[in-house]
């Protein structure tokens, strides 16, 4: 596989993560041997992205079981540690779903939990490649153009998944078909997943790109410089509303006004039929300091307070297509994830 980037892996030494907080300057692995380290890694986005969080959560159950044995925890103490992993970030439904996926295997022991988590990992990679193929097919059929100028927001690449990527997987597939002229990568403040992580993956993949300020996205689209926008998702409600990184709804509104497709790429594991609409999706509020500082440098005056919702909700009416591993839902035309 091109650029076999594995954000999450199980090794003989336990759970291994690519530490995404130090990219692109340094490529480092974080070895997780206890639940506290994993919860911290999730909360500071050393591991991030909905599918990657699901896989990390699943392996995290095995970490909790090993730690409980090592520390002499009761089952209740072990389960409390698992719950701290499960609730470490609220918006991406995949985290809780990944934990819940392996819980039934706990009575069978660590090896059984690891085996199920590995199945989840392998499924996610396959799903992402299927999403990439189906998304590329839909985009090429609808735009009738090639090569394309593609805009993406945040990072929905291999780093955000078990491998290949969702929105980035669509871009990889388009590039493999020689159908990408240029990618506009929104920097994605405040944690810069776009300029740090998506740009790094684009470099690895040899795909031409420009990094732009988030505030440039709407005008870039309205100036006719973009043919299609493709983004990932953290939770998709039953009615087709989509929660994704803050700034996504502005991209969707500009696409609607410009008459170009706004495409969401996500596996079914990101769809939450128990959440009726976007109004019920919990939006993570992160520390205001993330908006006011960068690597310890304060950019606002003393006393400034930051407002830092980590996600926004794109109304279903703005989603031209949801590319999943089983096919395309044309959400804006009224198709929803609900079983028809
Ligand atoms: C393939 S899911 C990627 C999704 O997750 C990101 O959020 P975060 O970086 O805070 O974990 C962002 O919303 C991406 O679109």
pLDDT of residue 144: 87
pLDDT of residue 86: 98
Please name which of 65, 103, 98, 102 lies closest in space to residue 81, comparing C-alpha atoms: 65
What is the ipTM metric for this complex?
Answer: 0.98
Please name which of 247, 11, 231 lies closest in space to residue 121, comparing C-alpha atoms: 11
Question: To which residue do tokens 């041997």 refer?
Answer: 33
The strand pairing partners of 180, in sequence order, are 148
pLDDT tens digits for range 294-340:
989 999 999 999 999 999 999 999 999 999 999 999 999 999 998 87
Is residue 1 predicted with pLDDT exceeding 80?
Answer: no
Class of domain 2-123: mainly alpha
Are 322 and 329 in contact by the 8 Å Cβ rule? The answer is: yes
For the chain, give the percent of residues with pLDDT over 90. Answer: 96
Going from the C-alpha of 296 to that of each of 289, 293, 299, the distances in angstroms are 10, 6, 9
Start-to-end Cα distance in the chain: 35
Mean pLDDT of 264-285: 98
Are 6 and 163 in contact by the 8 Å Cβ rule? The answer is: yes
* Phi-psi domain of 178 (left: phi exceeds 0; alpha: psi -120 through 50; beta: other): left
Spatial CB neighbours of 26, under 8 Å, sequence gap ≥ 6: none
DSSP code of residue 166: S
pLDDT tens digits for range 74-93:
999 999 999 999 999 999 99
pLDDT of residue 279: 98
Report whether residue 286 contacts ligand 1, using a CB cutoff of 6 Å. Answer: no
Are 232 and 287 in contact by the 8 Å Cβ rule? The answer is: no
The residue contributing the CA closest to ligand 1 atom 8 is: 49
Are 275 and 96 in contact by the 8 Å Cβ rule? The answer is: no
Mean pLDDT of 269-279: 98
Going from the C-alpha of 212 to that of each of 30, 158, 221, the distances in angstroms are 30, 21, 12
The residue contributing the CA closest to ligand 1 atom 7 is: 49
pLDDT of residue 4: 83
The alpha carbon of 245 and the centre of ligand 1 are apart by a number of angstroms equal to 6
Q: Which SS3 state, helix, strand or coil, does residue 297 take?
A: strand
Report whether residue 270 contacts ligand 1, using a CB cutoff of 6 Å. Answer: no
Q: Length of the chain in residues, anyone? A: 340
Is residue 186 predicted with pLDDT exceeding 60?
Answer: yes
Global pTM exceeds 0.95: yes
Q: Which of 234, 241, 272, 312 is catalytic?
A: 234
Respond yes or no: is residue 234 known to be catalytic.
Answer: yes
Report whether residue 50 contacts ligand 1, using a CB cutoff of 6 Å. Answer: yes
Q: Please, what sign has the CA dihedral across residues 47, 52, 55, 58?
A: positive
Going from the C-alpha of 184 to that of each of 84, 128, 132, the distances in angstroms are 37, 21, 18
Spatial CB neighbours of 108, under 8 Å, sequence gap ≥ 6: none
The alpha carbon of 156 and the centre of ligand 1 are apart by a number of angstroms equal to 6
pLDDT tens digits for range 214-253:
999 999 999 999 999 999 999 999 999 999 999 999 999 9
Is residue 67 predicted with pLDDT exceeding 60?
Answer: yes
pLDDT tens digits for range 125-176:
999 999 999 999 999 999 988 899 999 999 999 999 999 999 999 999 999 9
DSSP code of residue 72: T
pLDDT of residue 297: 94
Cα separation, 233 vs 265, in Å, equals 7
The alpha carbon of 222 and the centre of ligand 1 are apart by a number of angstroms equal to 25
Going from the C-alpha of 32 to that of each of 62, 66, 69, the distances in angstroms are 11, 12, 16
Q: Which band of pLDDT confidence, cut at 50, 70 and 90, is reported for residue 3?
A: low
Are 58 and 101 in contact by the 8 Å Cβ rule? The answer is: yes
Question: To which residue do tokens 């944690």 refer?
Answer: 191
Is residue 27 predicted with pLDDT exceeding 90?
Answer: yes
Domains 2-123 and 133-333 share a fold: no
Class of domain 133-333: alpha beta
Please name which of 311, 293, 298 lies closest in space to residue 235, comparing C-alpha atoms: 311
pLDDT of residue 2: 45
Are 199 and 24 in contact by the 8 Å Cβ rule? The answer is: yes
Mean pLDDT of 276-290: 98
Are 17 and 41 in contact by the 8 Å Cβ rule? The answer is: yes
Report whether residue 247 contacts ligand 1, using a CB cutoff of 6 Å. Answer: no
Domain residue spans of the chain: 2-123, 133-333
pLDDT of residue 339: 81
Please name which of 38, 140, 258, 322 lies closest in space to residue 330, comparing C-alpha atoms: 322
Q: What is the mean pLDDT of the chain?
A: 97
For the chain, give the percent of residues with pLDDT over 70. Answer: 99
Cα separation, 107 vs 93, in Å, equals 24
């Amino acid at each position: 596989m091109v650029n076999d980037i594995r954000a999450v892996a199980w090794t003989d030494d336990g759970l291994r993560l690519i530490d995404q907080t130090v990219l692109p300057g340094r490529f480092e692995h974080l070895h997780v041997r206890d639940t506290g380290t994993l919860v911290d890694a999730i909360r500071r986005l050393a591991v991030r992205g909905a599918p990657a969080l699901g896989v990390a959560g699943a392996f995290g159950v095995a970490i909790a079981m090993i730690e409980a044995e090592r520390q002499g925890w009761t089952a209740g103490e072990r389960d409390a540690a698992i719950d701290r992993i499960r609730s470490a970030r609220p918006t991406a439904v995949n985290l809780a779903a990944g934990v819940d996926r392996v819980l039934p295997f706990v009575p069978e022991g660590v090896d059984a939990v690891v085996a199920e988590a590995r199945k989840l990992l392998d499924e996610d990679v396959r799903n992402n490649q299927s999403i990439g193929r189906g998304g590329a097919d839909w985009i090429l059929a609808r735009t009738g153009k090639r090569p394309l100028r593609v805009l993406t927001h945040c990072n929905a690449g291999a780093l955000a998944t078990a491998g290949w990527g969702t929105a980035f997987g669509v871009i990889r597939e388009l590039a493999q078909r020689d159908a990408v002229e240029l990618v506009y990568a929104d920097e994605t403040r405040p944690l810069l997943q776009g300029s740090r992580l998506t740009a790094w993956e684009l470099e690895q993949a040899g795909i031409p790109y420009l990094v732009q300020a988030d505030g440039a996205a709407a005008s870039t689209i309205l100036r006719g410089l973009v043919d299609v926008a493709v983004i990932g998702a953290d939770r998709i409600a039953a009615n087709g509303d989509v929660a994704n990184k803050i700034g996504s709804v502005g991209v969707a509104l500009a696409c609607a006004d410009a008459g170009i497709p706004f495409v969401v790429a996500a596996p079914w594991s990101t769809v939450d039929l128990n959440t009726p609409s976007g109004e019920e999706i919990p939006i993570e509020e992160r520390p205001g300091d993330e908006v006011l500082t960068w690597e310890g440098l304060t950019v606002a005056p003393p006393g400034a307070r930051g407002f830092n919702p980590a996600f926004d909700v794109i109304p279903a009416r703005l989603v031209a297509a949801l590319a999943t591993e089983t096919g395309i839902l044309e959400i804006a035309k009224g198709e929803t994830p609900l079983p028809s």
